[in-house]
Structure 1
Amino acid sequence: MGEPQVAQIFRPGIVEGGVVSGPKPVESRDLIGLRALLTYSPNHVYEHTYLSSQRYAWQCLAGVQRGHGDVDLTTTYKFDEDQYIFTFREFKIAVASTFFYNFKDMRSTGKFLGITGDGHIQNSPAGAFIRKASMTYYLPDQEPV
């Protein structure tokens, strides 16, 4: 399958002199098994299925990419209770994005970061309403990586 066209490097930390409150962000497996619908607009609806600590599947249910989908690399950090930093790196197009998921409010906000076909950097803000559709639970010793 190769490598994504755009990479991400993670360096969790705090701003020097900043007041530390709450837990330190750590990589999380909490989303594994979740299937959710993300509505970015009435014309842009995507289904996400979080397969493992390293991969998620997506498909477009409404919008210009309707019928398109893929399995891409992901890294998720738990920020606080019901709050996550979700990142992904696509294989087919030059995109590596970061989103903040707030499951208390069932919202996401973030950026699609990538490189356009003519080599320019693309930085597109986005946000979605989240609806949890289902959850898969795994037997001990049979959980995904």
Structure 2
Amino acid sequence: MSTQDPIFIQVGDLADGFAPDSNILMNTAALIGQQFTLHFADGTSQHIQIENTQTLSWQASQTTAPVSTPYRATTLRDGIYFLDFISPIQAASTITLVINQHQQSAVMVVGQLPTEAETRIDMFSRVEKNLPLTPVTTQISFATFNRPFTNDDQLPTFTQELIGQRVMYTYSKTERYEHVYLNDHFYAWQCLDGVEKGLADVDRCHYIKVSDLLYLFVWQEKIVPTLGVVMVDLQRLKTDGKIVGYRGNDFGELSNFPVGAIAQPLNKTIHPAIAS
């Protein structure tokens, strides 16, 4: 039994710990040559063309020029793709898409890491100023592609289906975590084995249902600025996604690295209703 307090580490160190023999998926080449014009509820659109295995072309709006940028694409289920890249036009920002070709729909998660000044606002000051505890922000949007936007049942949606679940995730031979999905806004995590062993916290999160037993899970950490965007397949018992944060203490370089795990549901808590 250790009496030494566990220490939070930088995201770059976390990436180094996750890298060896990880359970990430291989990149897919299935999207090469395909184009997606995304239509959003506010009437805006974006255009993506997958150029090759290395780069895609992204047009952020109808009035901006396309920009080529490196990307990663994987698939947990046939016709559903996880696509991720660092924004080429916004500092410390990443863009993640889940593309469902069966329904011609998509989820877009735009994540923004804080500046150094924003990060160094302490928790008590955040409470005093009515600020979120985490300085990491996300913008989650739903879209159709290659068809006009319609708010129909083909779109992904926020869900409560994961709430109450306790799941163990094995990322590699050395890295193992446990998640408990508490409510609409928060989940608890702890590192069972690995570079963060003994660490635990409760952080802001979002749950999105993509298909039956297939979810997009997004979380924003508050101590070390970190964003996670991961597909969770509780039918296949597999996950794949990414974690992004700063590589070191100087806020000058991002670490946007892939993660994937074998999922093992442990139990589900259902709280009894309060009698009225």
Render the CA deviation track for 1:112-131: whole Å, top value 9, x for unaligned.
01223221122110100000
Q: Distance in 1 between the 2:204 and 2:144 partners? A: 25
Matched letter for residue 228 of structure 2: S
**In structure 1, how many angstroms separate the alpha carbons of the residues matched to 2:206 and 2:186?**
8
Kept after mapping to 2: 8 A contact 1:5/1:93: no
- CA displacement, residues 91-132 of structure 1 (integer Å, 9 cap, x when unaligned): 111111110011111000001012232211221101000000
Aligned equivalents of 2:258, 2:161: Cα separation in 1 = 25
Deviations 1:51-109 (A, max 9, x none): 00100000000001110010000000000100000000001111111100111110000
Gaps in structure 1 of 5+ consecutive residues:
none
Residue 107 of structure 1 is matched in structure 2 by 238
Please give the root-mean-square deviation of Cα atoms over the aligned residues, in Å.
2.0
- The one-letter amino acid paired with 1:13 is A
Q: 1:16 to 1:141 in 2, by over 3 A?
A: farther
- Counting matched residue pairs gives 141
Please give the alpha-carbon distance, in whole angstroms, between the structure 2 residues aligned to 1:128 and 1:118: 30
Larger relative contact order, structure 1 or 2 (CA cutoff 8 Å, min sep 6): 1
Q: Which residue of 2 aligns with 1:46?
A: 177
1:35-74 alignment to 2 at 5 Å?
35-74=166-205
Structure-to-structure mapping, 1:1-145, within 5 angstroms: 1=123, 2=126, 3-17=133-147, 23-116=154-247, 117-119=249-251, 120-141=253-274
For the Cα contact (< 8 Å) 1:23–1:80, is it kept in 2? no
Identity of aligned residues (%): 29
After the TM superposition, which of the residue ranges 28-37 and 109-118 deviates more from structure 2?
Answer: 109-118
Rounded to whole Å, the distance in 1 between the matches of 2:274 and 2:258 is 39
Higher CA-based Rg: 2
- The unaligned stretches of length 5 or more in structure 2 are 1-122, 127-132
How far apart are the structure 1 equivalents of 2:216 and 2:274?
26
Report which of the two has the higher share of helix. 2
Amino acid at match of 2:135: Q
TM-score w.r.t. the length of structure 1 is 0.89
d(CA) in 2 for partners of 1:30, 1:12: 19
Q: CA deviation at 1:17?
A: 4.1
Aligned AA (1:7): T
